[in-house]
Amino acid sequence: MIKGVFLIMGAVTVFTVMQSFIKAADGYPAGQSVFFRSFFALPIILVWLWMKHDLRDGLKTNNWKGHGMRGLVGTCAMACGFAGLKFLPLPDATALRFITPVMIVIFAALLLGEKIRLVRLGAVGVGLLGVLVIMWPKLEFDAGNLALLGVGLTLMSASLAALAQVFIKAMTATEKTAAIVFYFSMTASVLGLMTSPFGWVMPLGWDWALLIGAGLLGGVGQILMTSSYRFADASVIAPFTYVSILSAVFIGYVFFDELPTWQMAIGAGMIIAAGILIVWRERSLGLKRTAERKVLAQGK
């Protein structure tokens, strides 16, 4: 279990560094950033699959439609997230993306028919209120308010990421993790490349290293995150994903001269509390269902 916790903490830290690379390589279209992030992650993922002896059997699939939908939604989530980074401090963008678990509850109810009971409904309300606290200083509705645009793009990214997670949840019954990870990177690479006619910019100097480095880090982050679930339950490691706010604050302050505001701190705390409450509730329900199955099995 401890190994799983350290792996997930490493994964979210790597992803935060990756996002800082994208933010530092400013001036490039989001589609171009998506291509670099996805294409240069592929070699890392392929080597990982080869080392696991999962390169052939692990990539078999009969659900091309599912991979296509998950890839399309996930790629749009990535593009919106990269675009939002241009207009928001790194800590604010990171905190707003914590709303993803809350949105998963909403989408699971709408698309999978899952019931939202009182505890999870309260968590959803607290999480959305936390978003409002972070947004409040930026609520000036005019065309020149780029911070509000950044908030909108980041929330769209978090919502689409939640929708992608719902698709993944439905796919895990028939698809292997290796296939889900690989075909997403492939789909995102192709979709990112398709945006090239709409104004790609030739990278200059260190920007090559930043964009390629973002892809390599993205591949490493995916492997660390996937591996973490081998050593601990999702309900155990999920709260530790929130440590990314610490690296985001540090990187934002040191490299981008971004100071976190008290609104960001309070709002992030509320969103994190909502996420942990959802995780706790899911774990409690899971334990209850397991106990009920054991009782039924003993009664047969």
Q: What pLDDT is attached to residue 297? A: 43
How far is residue 45's CA from residue 70's CA, in Å, rounded to a whole number? Answer: 18
Per-residue pLDDT of the chain (300 residues; tens, 9 = 90+): 688 888 888 999 999 999 999 999 988 999 999 999 999 999 999 998 888 888 878 888 888 888 999 999 999 999 999 999 999 999 999 988 888 878 877 877 777 677 767 777 788 888 888 888 888 877 666 656 788 889 999 999 999 988 888 788 778 778 887 888 899 999 999 999 999 999 899 998 899 999 999 999 999 998 888 888 777 766 667 777 888 888 999 999 999 998 888 888 898 888 888 878 877 776 666 555 554 444 334 454
CB proximity list for 279: less than 8 A, separation 6 or greater: 101, 235, 238, 239
Domain span at 189 = 2-299
Total of domains in the chain: 1
Q: Which residues of 166-193 are buried (b: 16+ CB within 10 A; e: fewer)?
A: bbbebbeeebbbbbbbbbbbbbbbebbe
pLDDT at 143: 57
Do 217 and 24 contact (CB within 8 A), yes or no? Answer: no
Evaluated on CA atoms 153, 155, 158, 159, the torsion sign reads negative
Query: Given this model, what pLDDT does residue 135 score?
Result: 81
pTM, full prediction: 0.85
SS3 202: coil
In this structure, are residues 13 and 224 in contact, taking their beta carbons and an 8 Å threshold? no
